[in-house]
A and B are shown apart, each in its own frame.
Chain A
Amino acid sequence: MERRWNLQKIIWFAMIILSIFIVVFPIYIMFKYSISDRSSWITGGRYPVPWWPFKPTFEMYKYYLSDTRFWGNGFLSIKIALLTVALSMFFGAPAAYSLARYKFNGKAVLLFLILSIRLIPDISSVIPVATVFNFAFLYNLPVTLKVALAHTLLGLPYVIYIAQGVFETIPVDLEEQAHIMGAGKLYTFIRIILPVALPGLAAGAIYVFLLSWNEFVFSYFITATSSVDVLPLPVYLKSLFGAFTPNPVSIATLSLLVSLPVIVFTFIIQKYMVAGTTAGAVK
């Protein structure tokens, strides 16, 4: 009996190690390429591509971090993400508050509507959105705004979902006391509830920021159909693949630069990320 239990534990442990390896291996490969010398790739057949960092150097990082094109694209990505956060919060947080606190007719319909927008595949909905943005009267809108408006559509349902959960954890007593002291609903919401809810809302904001930072389909379709020089980072990264001889070191470095903020933030908001992911219609 004792022995069999041990065998089971060994298998379990081996599986844990294996799954960690499967997850970490690609990330390691990226890291390895990014700090390797160019000659780790162009080996001329003398030796296979090394598994370990080859003549470690931060050349590529230095190159990108002093490259104006990279910074231009990076700032565009940041601007889009921040605008997306602002828009989703502005539209989402008050709606979430009312959904969390009040009972009213048609609440179920509204909730269904939030979900249903996520049920349309983004690869289908991107066509009309990109087309509408190319109409004459919208064509001159800044790309930042176009992409951010599209990303808000993706982020809004999550903000409403996450914020609703946050507001539900705040005790109702707080509002009742404020009402007794004569505060109006709006005043209570802005001055009393929002500050208390801020940490939770911040997590939602980060989640939406990452969603926009990582998003490819809308960014790509909208920028590909309008003439722009500056691209969001994921689209910029993709444009490197198409080069005649893609340079792995450069791709790996850029990939890591794009992923780094995401990995750091994800660890911070993991709890909320889990809630957002399991919430139903999942991106």
Chain B
Amino acid sequence: MNTALKKEDKWNKFKEGLKKNSFLIWTLLPGFLYIIAFFVIVAFFLLKLSLTSYNGGMTQESLTIANYLKLIESEEFRTAFVRTFIFVLITTPLQLVTGLIGAILINKKFKFRGVVRSILLLPLAIPTIVTTATLLLLFSKGGHITSLLMGEYPWFPKITQHEISFLNKESLALGISILGKVWRDTPISMLILLAGLQSISEEQYEAAKTMGSTTIQNFFYITLPLLVPSISSVLVLRSIEAWKEFIFPYILAPSYPVLGVLIEKYYVQMFDPGTASAIGVILIIVILIGTTVLNWILKKMQSYLVKI
């Protein structure tokens, strides 16, 4: 009798709590259910598909690690992995440098600062597919760049005799995708670094000036160490983006697939969701490992750079 009462009491309290917080629950629940539902779908089916082997679009065997074994042995996957790694190694620092240059340029106060900043943010506004289209037109056969290098314009020296087909050479094709990626995403790193630059107080520079420091010394002994947090976040975020890059190499270097392009190849063209998912899972793991390692390196560097 007593326990039943207690139970009812608890239940009533629970109901009361629900009623009291009903506004909170009704506002939060739909959105989070949406996210959780997709989260579960993505996690569950990605794993399930990656553990299912397919042949010609039909399920062949489930709960097997055949896909992973096949990938580890395949030459194609290994080269794609190395390619992606090189892509990350070049793109990430490059975006840091271009972003830093942009941020330092904009950080000065001048007349048309707002306008210049808006112009430098333009790459973010252009749909990525349009950026790839532009690069495709510029670098394709008979496009501006090949004509330029062949000396067809009177004001530019002749550099090669033969037409270079940029998109059919691995290093060049990947180089152009890196160029596109950096062009498009520099504004993001620029904005993060700009926020970091603006949080450095003017007094520090003035104090240094009274001690007779030069601009270059200022940069290396004040700006850079204080910018370490922003630099770290740029490197981490940009490297994640670079790992999962799809669209630039997909359009500009389709014959030299990176991991993202390989996923498209298996999923859309070869009707093999199993292998595609296995690559997807590997990609997630690689990103996790890569980010952890990068964080570790950055921490070491920070303790080395900032000596207090």
Contact = CB atoms under 8 A, between A and B. Distances in A.
Interface of A: 8, 12, 15-16, 19-20, 22-24, 26-27, 29-30, 33, 41, 43, 47-49, 51, 90-92, 94-95, 97-99, 102, 104, 110, 113-114, 116-117, 119-125, 127-132, 152-153, 156-157, 160, 185-186, 189, 210, 213-214, 216-217, 220-221, 224-225, 234, 237-238, 241, 246, 248, 251-252, 255-256, 258-259, 262-263, 266-267, 270, 273-274, 277-278, 280-282
Contacts of A262: 125-127
Contact of B23 (A19, A33, A185): A185
A104 B24 contact: yes
A280 B120 CA distance: 20
Contacts of A225: 267-268
B56 interface: no
Contacts of B138: 26, 29
Given A51-B144, A262-B125, A114 B137 contact: no
Interface string B159-190: 00000000000000000000000010001100
Interface string B134-150: 11111010111001000
Nearest to B271: A225
Interface string B17-53: 0000101101110111011101101101110010000
A29 B134 contact: yes
Nearest to A265: B125
B77 interface: no
A258 B128 CA distance: 11
A224 B280 CA distance: 18
Given A94-B27, A273-B121, 10 more contacts: A27-B122, A49-B142, A98-B24, A117-B35, A123-B244, A131-B45, A210-B125, A216-B128, A263-B125, A266-B122
A258 B130 contact: yes
Contact of A26 (B135, B276, B277): B135
B145 to A, nearest CB: 10
Contacts of B207: none
A110 B34 contact: no
Contact of B32 (A24, A110, A251): A110
The size bracket of the interface on B is 35 or more
B198 to A, nearest CB: 12
Contacts of A47: 152
B127 A258 contact: yes
Interface stretch (B7-15, B67-75, B281-289, B300-308): B281-289
16 contacts: A15-B101, A16-B116, A19-B102, A26-B135, A33-B137, A43-B142, A94-B31, A95-B31, A104-B24, A121-B280, A125-B42, A128-B41, A130-B267, A246-B140, A248-B137, A248-B143
Interface in B236-281: 237, 240-241, 243-244, 246-247, 251, 259-260, 263-264, 267-268, 273, 276-277, 280-281
A131 B49 contact: yes
B31 A213 contact: no
A224 B273 CA distance: 13
Contact of B247 (A110, A117, A120, A217): A217
Contacts of A251: 133, 136-137
Given A19-B101, A266-B124, A113 B32 contact: yes
A255 B283 contact: no
Contact of A123 (B123, B143, B187, B283): B283
Contact of B46 (A12, A98, A127): A127
Contacts of A282: 188, 237, 241
A107 to B, nearest CB: 10
A273 B287 CA distance: 26
The 3 lowest CB-CB distance pairs between A and B, nearest first, are: A121-B244, A128-B45, A124-B280
Interface in B98-136: 101-102, 105, 108, 116, 118-131, 133-136
Nearest to A224: B268
A221 B142 contact: no
A213 B125 CA distance: 11
A263 B126 contact: yes
B122 A263 contact: yes
Nearest to B148: A48
B292 interface: no
Given A49-B144, A102-B24, A255 B273 contact: no
B215 interface: yes
A234 B237 contact: no
Contacts of A160: 31
Contacts of B191: 274, 277-278
B244 A122 contact: yes
B221 interface: no
B183 to A, nearest CB: 7
Contacts of B125: 210, 259, 262-263, 266-267
